[in-house]
Amino acid sequence: MSVSVVICNYNGEEHLPACLEALAGMRGEVGEVLLVDNESTDRSLEIVARDYPHVRVISTGFNAGPCIARNVGMREAQGEFVLALDNDAVVSAETLEALLAAQAQTGAVIVQPRSVFDHEPDRVHYDGGGFHYVGLVQLRNFYVPLAQAQGEGVIDVDCCISMCLLLDRKKVLEIGGYDERYFILFEDYDLSYRLRSGGERIVSVESTIVRHRAGTPGISFREGPRYPGTRVFFHSRNRWVFLFKNHEWRTLFVTAPGWLAYEFVGLCFATMSGHLWAWLRGKGAAIKLLMELGADRAKVQRARQLRDGNLLVGGALTVTPAVAAKPVKRVLLALINGVLKFCWALSRPLLAKG
Protein backbone atom coordinates (compact mmCIF):
# COMPACT_ATOMS: atom_id res chain seq x y z
CA MET A 1 0.00 0.00 0.00
CA SER A 2 1.34 3.46 -0.90
CA VAL A 3 1.17 6.00 1.93
CA SER A 4 1.57 9.76 1.97
CA VAL A 5 2.02 11.63 5.24
CA VAL A 6 0.14 14.95 5.34
CA ILE A 7 0.83 17.36 8.22
CA CYS A 8 -1.51 20.28 8.86
CA ASN A 9 0.42 23.27 10.19
CA TYR A 10 -0.22 26.74 11.51
CA ASN A 11 2.45 28.40 13.64
CA GLY A 12 3.75 25.02 14.77
CA GLU A 13 7.44 25.79 15.32
CA GLU A 14 7.17 24.58 18.94
CA HIS A 15 5.79 21.19 17.88
CA LEU A 16 7.06 20.41 14.38
CA PRO A 17 10.51 19.13 15.36
CA ALA A 18 9.03 16.51 17.71
CA CYS A 19 6.43 15.56 15.10
CA LEU A 20 8.96 15.18 12.27
CA GLU A 21 11.60 13.43 14.37
CA ALA A 22 9.04 10.85 15.43
CA LEU A 23 8.07 10.33 11.79
CA ALA A 24 11.70 9.63 10.94
CA GLY A 25 11.70 6.80 13.48
CA MET A 26 8.38 5.31 12.35
CA ARG A 27 8.53 1.90 10.70
CA GLY A 28 6.87 1.30 7.34
CA GLU A 29 7.30 2.70 3.86
CA VAL A 30 6.27 6.32 3.37
CA GLY A 31 6.21 7.59 -0.19
CA GLU A 32 6.23 11.30 0.67
CA VAL A 33 5.79 13.78 3.50
CA LEU A 34 3.70 16.87 2.77
CA LEU A 35 3.34 19.83 5.11
CA VAL A 36 0.34 22.00 4.29
CA ASP A 37 0.87 25.40 5.86
CA ASN A 38 -1.90 27.87 6.67
CA GLU A 39 0.19 31.03 6.23
CA SER A 40 2.25 30.62 9.41
CA THR A 41 3.82 33.76 10.84
CA ASP A 42 6.38 31.98 13.05
CA ARG A 43 9.56 30.08 12.11
CA SER A 44 7.79 26.87 11.06
CA LEU A 45 8.79 26.96 7.41
CA GLU A 46 12.33 28.09 8.20
CA ILE A 47 12.79 25.09 10.48
CA VAL A 48 11.40 22.68 7.91
CA ALA A 49 13.55 24.08 5.09
CA ARG A 50 16.69 23.96 7.23
CA ASP A 51 16.31 20.64 9.05
CA TYR A 52 13.85 18.58 7.00
CA PRO A 53 14.50 19.27 3.31
CA HIS A 54 12.74 16.05 2.26
CA VAL A 55 9.40 17.53 3.39
CA ARG A 56 7.39 19.09 0.59
CA VAL A 57 5.74 22.32 1.74
CA ILE A 58 2.42 23.42 0.26
CA SER A 59 1.06 26.83 1.23
CA THR A 60 -2.67 27.51 1.24
CA GLY A 61 -1.92 31.25 1.06
CA PHE A 62 -4.18 32.11 4.00
CA ASN A 63 -5.39 30.69 7.29
CA ALA A 64 -8.82 29.21 6.70
CA GLY A 65 -8.51 26.48 9.31
CA PRO A 66 -7.40 22.85 9.23
CA CYS A 67 -10.26 21.62 7.02
CA ILE A 68 -8.89 23.30 3.90
CA ALA A 69 -5.33 22.26 4.72
CA ARG A 70 -6.33 18.62 5.15
CA ASN A 71 -8.32 18.64 1.91
CA VAL A 72 -5.47 20.25 0.00
CA GLY A 73 -3.09 17.64 1.38
CA MET A 74 -5.34 14.76 0.36
CA ARG A 75 -5.77 16.14 -3.14
CA GLU A 76 -2.02 16.68 -3.58
CA ALA A 77 -0.98 13.34 -2.07
CA GLN A 78 0.07 10.54 -4.37
CA GLY A 79 -0.53 7.66 -1.97
CA GLU A 80 -3.57 5.41 -1.84
CA PHE A 81 -3.66 6.11 1.88
CA VAL A 82 -2.90 9.29 3.79
CA LEU A 83 -1.52 9.38 7.30
CA ALA A 84 -2.97 12.73 8.34
CA LEU A 85 -1.29 14.42 11.29
CA ASP A 86 -1.73 17.63 13.19
CA ASN A 87 1.58 19.35 13.87
CA ASP A 88 1.37 18.49 17.59
CA ALA A 89 0.99 14.72 17.09
CA VAL A 90 3.97 12.50 17.97
CA VAL A 91 3.67 9.02 16.46
CA SER A 92 5.18 5.85 17.86
CA ALA A 93 7.49 3.57 15.88
CA GLU A 94 4.72 1.06 15.10
CA THR A 95 1.97 3.55 14.25
CA LEU A 96 1.92 3.16 10.48
CA GLU A 97 2.37 -0.61 10.41
CA ALA A 98 -0.38 -1.11 12.99
CA LEU A 99 -2.86 1.22 11.29
CA LEU A 100 -2.24 -0.35 7.86
CA ALA A 101 -2.70 -3.85 9.29
CA ALA A 102 -6.00 -2.81 10.87
CA GLN A 103 -7.18 -1.28 7.61
CA ALA A 104 -6.34 -4.45 5.68
CA GLN A 105 -8.17 -6.50 8.29
CA THR A 106 -11.35 -4.39 8.42
CA GLY A 107 -11.56 -2.40 5.18
CA ALA A 108 -12.20 0.71 7.28
CA VAL A 109 -12.12 4.11 5.59
CA ILE A 110 -10.52 5.67 8.68
CA VAL A 111 -8.20 4.01 11.19
CA GLN A 112 -7.06 5.88 14.27
CA PRO A 113 -4.68 5.14 17.16
CA ARG A 114 -5.37 5.83 20.80
CA SER A 115 -3.84 9.14 21.88
CA VAL A 116 -2.45 10.15 25.25
CA PHE A 117 -1.31 13.49 26.62
CA ASP A 118 2.32 14.19 25.80
CA HIS A 119 2.90 15.63 29.27
CA GLU A 120 0.94 12.81 30.93
CA PRO A 121 1.41 9.69 28.78
CA ASP A 122 -0.35 7.42 31.25
CA ARG A 123 -3.69 9.22 30.64
CA VAL A 124 -5.91 8.90 27.55
CA HIS A 125 -6.83 12.01 25.61
CA TYR A 126 -8.69 10.81 22.50
CA ASP A 127 -9.92 7.32 21.74
CA GLY A 128 -12.79 7.78 19.31
CA GLY A 129 -16.39 8.12 20.40
CA GLY A 130 -20.09 8.00 19.64
CA PHE A 131 -22.70 10.40 18.29
CA HIS A 132 -24.67 11.96 21.15
CA TYR A 133 -28.16 12.84 19.98
CA VAL A 134 -27.77 16.54 20.87
CA GLY A 135 -24.99 16.86 18.28
CA LEU A 136 -21.88 16.27 20.36
CA VAL A 137 -19.23 13.58 20.44
CA GLN A 138 -19.43 11.19 23.37
CA LEU A 139 -15.72 10.50 23.83
CA ARG A 140 -14.44 7.09 24.89
CA ASN A 141 -12.00 6.84 27.82
CA PHE A 142 -11.68 10.63 27.98
CA TYR A 143 -9.03 11.55 30.61
CA VAL A 144 -9.12 7.96 31.91
CA PRO A 145 -5.81 6.48 33.17
CA LEU A 146 -4.35 4.38 30.38
CA ALA A 147 -4.22 1.30 32.59
CA GLN A 148 -8.00 1.56 33.16
CA ALA A 149 -9.04 2.39 29.59
CA GLN A 150 -11.64 0.06 28.11
CA GLY A 151 -11.14 -1.68 24.77
CA GLU A 152 -8.36 -3.77 23.27
CA GLY A 153 -7.25 -4.81 19.83
CA VAL A 154 -9.02 -3.28 16.83
CA ILE A 155 -12.51 -2.00 17.64
CA ASP A 156 -15.24 -0.18 15.74
CA VAL A 157 -15.93 3.41 16.74
CA ASP A 158 -18.36 5.89 15.24
CA CYS A 159 -16.41 9.11 15.52
CA CYS A 160 -12.73 9.82 14.89
CA ILE A 161 -10.63 12.72 16.12
CA SER A 162 -8.47 14.39 13.45
CA MET A 163 -5.18 14.44 15.29
CA CYS A 164 -3.68 11.29 13.74
CA LEU A 165 -5.68 9.30 11.18
CA LEU A 166 -5.01 6.82 8.41
CA LEU A 167 -7.43 7.75 5.63
CA ASP A 168 -8.55 5.93 2.51
CA ARG A 169 -7.85 9.00 0.41
CA LYS A 170 -10.15 8.22 -2.52
CA LYS A 171 -13.18 7.34 -0.40
CA VAL A 172 -12.83 10.38 1.85
CA LEU A 173 -12.51 12.71 -1.12
CA GLU A 174 -15.46 11.04 -2.87
CA ILE A 175 -17.77 12.26 -0.12
CA GLY A 176 -16.27 15.75 -0.27
CA GLY A 177 -13.53 15.49 2.35
CA TYR A 178 -13.79 17.83 5.30
CA ASP A 179 -16.54 20.44 5.14
CA GLU A 180 -14.51 23.65 5.00
CA ARG A 181 -17.33 25.78 6.40
CA TYR A 182 -16.55 24.55 9.90
CA PHE A 183 -13.08 26.15 10.00
CA ILE A 184 -12.37 24.16 13.19
CA LEU A 185 -14.43 22.11 15.68
CA PHE A 186 -17.00 19.54 14.54
CA GLU A 187 -15.24 19.01 11.21
CA ASP A 188 -14.10 15.48 12.10
CA TYR A 189 -17.47 14.79 13.75
CA ASP A 190 -19.21 15.78 10.52
CA LEU A 191 -16.88 13.67 8.37
CA SER A 192 -17.36 10.69 10.66
CA TYR A 193 -21.15 10.99 10.56
CA ARG A 194 -21.28 11.18 6.78
CA LEU A 195 -19.09 8.10 6.48
CA ARG A 196 -20.91 6.08 9.12
CA SER A 197 -24.41 6.99 7.91
CA GLY A 198 -23.21 5.91 4.47
CA GLY A 199 -22.33 2.48 5.83
CA GLU A 200 -18.54 2.85 6.09
CA ARG A 201 -16.41 1.67 9.01
CA ILE A 202 -14.14 3.64 11.33
CA VAL A 203 -11.89 1.67 13.67
CA SER A 204 -9.48 2.38 16.50
CA VAL A 205 -6.28 0.44 17.20
CA GLU A 206 -6.21 0.46 20.99
CA SER A 207 -2.67 -0.86 21.38
CA THR A 208 -1.10 1.86 19.23
CA ILE A 209 -0.33 5.01 21.18
CA VAL A 210 0.30 8.48 19.79
CA ARG A 211 1.23 11.40 22.02
CA HIS A 212 -0.73 14.64 21.72
CA ARG A 213 0.99 17.88 22.62
CA ALA A 214 -0.56 21.31 23.25
CA GLY A 215 -3.49 21.62 20.83
CA THR A 216 -4.55 24.75 18.90
CA PRO A 217 -3.75 28.03 20.73
CA GLY A 218 -6.82 30.13 21.45
CA ILE A 219 -9.25 27.29 20.64
CA SER A 220 -8.20 24.09 22.42
CA PHE A 221 -9.00 23.93 26.13
CA ARG A 222 -7.62 21.62 28.80
CA GLU A 223 -7.49 23.71 31.95
CA GLY A 224 -8.27 27.21 33.24
CA PRO A 225 -8.43 29.94 34.08
CA ARG A 226 -10.34 31.17 31.01
CA TYR A 227 -12.40 29.21 28.52
CA PRO A 228 -11.59 30.64 25.05
CA GLY A 229 -14.24 32.89 23.54
CA THR A 230 -13.22 31.72 20.06
CA ARG A 231 -14.09 28.16 21.05
CA VAL A 232 -17.49 29.31 22.35
CA PHE A 233 -18.19 30.98 18.99
CA PHE A 234 -17.26 27.96 16.85
CA HIS A 235 -19.06 25.54 19.15
CA SER A 236 -22.21 27.67 19.10
CA ARG A 237 -22.12 27.96 15.31
CA ASN A 238 -20.86 24.58 14.16
CA ARG A 239 -23.08 22.37 16.26
CA TRP A 240 -26.17 23.81 14.58
CA VAL A 241 -24.56 23.39 11.16
CA PHE A 242 -23.85 19.74 11.96
CA LEU A 243 -27.35 19.00 13.25
CA PHE A 244 -29.26 20.60 10.39
CA LYS A 245 -26.94 19.17 7.76
CA ASN A 246 -26.78 15.56 8.96
CA HIS A 247 -29.72 14.57 11.16
CA GLU A 248 -32.97 13.47 9.57
CA TRP A 249 -35.91 15.85 9.96
CA ARG A 250 -37.73 13.27 12.04
CA THR A 251 -34.72 13.04 14.36
CA LEU A 252 -34.53 16.80 14.83
CA PHE A 253 -38.20 16.90 15.75
CA VAL A 254 -38.17 13.90 18.08
CA THR A 255 -35.01 14.93 19.93
CA ALA A 256 -35.85 18.65 20.05
CA PRO A 257 -36.54 18.72 23.83
CA GLY A 258 -33.05 17.40 24.52
CA TRP A 259 -31.05 19.59 22.18
CA LEU A 260 -33.06 22.66 23.11
CA ALA A 261 -32.32 21.96 26.77
CA TYR A 262 -28.65 21.78 25.86
CA GLU A 263 -28.97 25.15 24.10
CA PHE A 264 -30.20 26.71 27.33
CA VAL A 265 -27.29 25.26 29.30
CA GLY A 266 -24.86 26.40 26.59
CA LEU A 267 -26.25 29.91 26.92
CA CYS A 268 -25.80 29.77 30.71
CA PHE A 269 -22.24 28.46 30.39
CA ALA A 270 -21.30 31.14 27.86
CA THR A 271 -22.72 33.84 30.12
CA MET A 272 -20.87 32.56 33.20
CA SER A 273 -17.65 32.34 31.18
CA GLY A 274 -18.00 35.95 30.00
CA HIS A 275 -18.63 34.96 26.39
CA LEU A 276 -22.33 35.63 25.85
CA TRP A 277 -21.60 37.79 22.81
CA ALA A 278 -19.46 35.04 21.25
CA TRP A 279 -22.32 32.57 21.75
CA LEU A 280 -24.84 34.93 20.18
CA ARG A 281 -22.54 35.68 17.24
CA GLY A 282 -22.18 31.94 16.73
CA LYS A 283 -25.93 31.52 16.44
CA GLY A 284 -26.19 34.40 14.00
CA ALA A 285 -23.41 32.94 11.85
CA ALA A 286 -25.07 29.52 11.99
CA ILE A 287 -28.36 30.90 10.70
CA LYS A 288 -26.55 32.43 7.72
CA LEU A 289 -24.82 29.12 6.97
CA LEU A 290 -28.06 27.15 7.25
CA MET A 291 -29.31 28.98 4.18
CA GLU A 292 -26.68 27.27 2.03
CA LEU A 293 -26.87 23.74 3.46
CA GLY A 294 -29.74 22.45 1.30
CA ALA A 295 -27.71 20.71 -1.40
CA ASP A 296 -25.25 19.18 1.05
CA ARG A 297 -28.03 18.01 3.33
CA ALA A 298 -29.78 16.33 0.39
CA LYS A 299 -26.52 14.61 -0.57
CA VAL A 300 -26.04 13.22 2.93
CA GLN A 301 -29.58 11.89 3.07
CA ARG A 302 -29.36 10.28 -0.41
CA ALA A 303 -26.16 8.47 0.52
CA ARG A 304 -27.57 7.23 3.82
CA GLN A 305 -27.36 3.49 4.53
CA LEU A 306 -27.96 3.74 8.28
CA ARG A 307 -30.74 5.70 9.96
CA ASP A 308 -30.03 8.07 12.82
CA GLY A 309 -31.63 5.56 15.16
CA ASN A 310 -28.81 3.13 14.40
CA LEU A 311 -26.12 5.69 15.17
CA LEU A 312 -27.20 8.04 17.93
CA VAL A 313 -26.61 7.44 21.63
CA GLY A 314 -27.72 9.13 24.84
CA GLY A 315 -26.01 9.26 28.21
CA ALA A 316 -23.93 11.85 30.01
CA LEU A 317 -22.04 14.56 28.14
CA THR A 318 -18.26 14.35 27.84
CA VAL A 319 -16.59 17.49 29.17
CA THR A 320 -13.04 18.50 29.98
CA PRO A 321 -12.66 18.18 33.78
CA ALA A 322 -11.65 21.83 34.12
CA VAL A 323 -15.00 22.92 32.64
CA ALA A 324 -16.83 21.54 35.67
CA ALA A 325 -14.23 22.55 38.24
CA LYS A 326 -16.45 25.13 39.95
CA PRO A 327 -19.39 23.98 42.10
CA VAL A 328 -21.97 25.99 40.14
CA LYS A 329 -20.87 24.43 36.87
CA ARG A 330 -20.83 20.94 38.40
CA VAL A 331 -24.42 21.42 39.48
CA LEU A 332 -25.35 22.71 36.04
CA LEU A 333 -23.67 19.72 34.38
CA ALA A 334 -25.43 17.25 36.66
CA LEU A 335 -28.75 18.94 35.93
CA ILE A 336 -28.38 18.87 32.16
CA ASN A 337 -27.20 15.26 32.19
CA GLY A 338 -30.31 14.28 34.09
CA VAL A 339 -32.55 16.17 31.68
CA LEU A 340 -30.79 14.74 28.62
CA LYS A 341 -31.06 11.16 29.90
CA PHE A 342 -34.78 11.65 30.52
CA CYS A 343 -35.33 13.17 27.08
CA TRP A 344 -33.39 10.33 25.45
CA ALA A 345 -35.52 7.74 27.22
CA LEU A 346 -38.56 9.39 25.64
CA SER A 347 -37.02 10.00 22.21
CA ARG A 348 -35.20 6.74 21.56
CA PRO A 349 -38.24 4.50 20.94
CA LEU A 350 -39.50 7.02 18.35
CA LEU A 351 -36.36 7.03 16.21
CA ALA A 352 -36.71 4.83 13.14
CA LYS A 353 -34.06 2.17 12.63
CA GLY A 354 -33.15 0.13 9.58
Structurally, how many domains does the chain consist of? 2
Burial of 153 (C-beta count, 10 Å sphere; 0-12/13-18/19+)? exposed
| Domain annotation covers residue 304 | yes
- Among 212, 245, 274, the domain boundary falls at 212
What is the CB neighbour count within 10 angstroms for residue 11? 19
State residue 237's pLDDT score: 96
CB atoms under 10 Å from CB of 324, counted, come to: 16
CA distances from 339 to 104, 264, 316 (A): 42, 12, 10
Does a structural domain hold residue 326?
Answer: yes
What is the C-alpha to C-alpha distance for residues 146 and 115, in angstroms, rounded to an integer?
A: 10
Residues 186 and 258 in one domain: no
In a domain, 179, yes or no: yes
Helices 327-347 & 256-272 angle (0-180, nearest 10): 170
CB–CB of 16/87 below 8 Å? yes
On whether both 207 and 254 belong to a single domain, the answer is: no
Instruction: State whether 129 and 37 are in the same domain.
Output: yes
What's the whole-model pTM score?
0.94
CATH number, domain containing residue 14: 3.90.550.10
Domain boundary among 180, 212, 244: 212
Residues 261 and 311 grouped into a single domain: yes
Regarding whether 201 and 238 lie in a shared domain, the answer is no
Asked if residue 271 and residue 201 are part of one domain, the reply reads no
Q: What pLDDT is recorded for position 56?
A: 97
User: Is there a single domain that holds both residue 13 and residue 108?
Assistant: yes
Amino acid symbol at 45: L
Instruction: Indicate whether 40 and 70 sit together in one domain.
Output: yes
Range of the domain at 115: 3-212
Is residue 222 included in any domain, yes or no?
Answer: no
Tell me: do 176 and 259 sit in the same domain.
no
120 and 234 in a single domain? The answer is no
Q: Judge whether 223 lies within some domain.
A: no
- 285 in the same domain as 197: no
Q: Please report the pLDDT score of residue 330 as a whole number.
A: 82
Q: Is residue 17 part of a domain?
A: yes
**218 falls within a domain:** no
Classify residue 123: in a domain, yes or no: yes
Classified as helix, coil or strand, 207 is strand
- pLDDT tens string for the chain (354 positions)? 589 999 999 999 999 999 999 999 999 999 999 999 999 999 999 999 999 999 999 999 999 889 999 999 999 999 999 999 999 999 999 999 999 999 999 999 999 999 999 999 999 999 999 999 999 999 999 999 999 999 999 999 999 999 999 999 999 999 999 999 999 899 999 999 999 999 999 999 999 999 999 766 655 545 555 677 888 999 999 999 999 999 999 999 999 999 999 999 899 889 988 999 999 999 999 999 998 999 999 999 999 999 999 999 998 998 887 766 678 778 888 889 999 999 999 999 999 765
pLDDT at 99: 98
d(CA 138, CA 247): 16
Q: Are residues 150 and 260 in the same domain?
A: no
SS3 per-residue string spanning 108-170: CCEEEEEEEECCCCCEECCCCEEEECCCEEEECCCCCEHHHCCCCCEEEECECCCCEEEEEHH
Amino acid (1-letter code) at residue 89? A
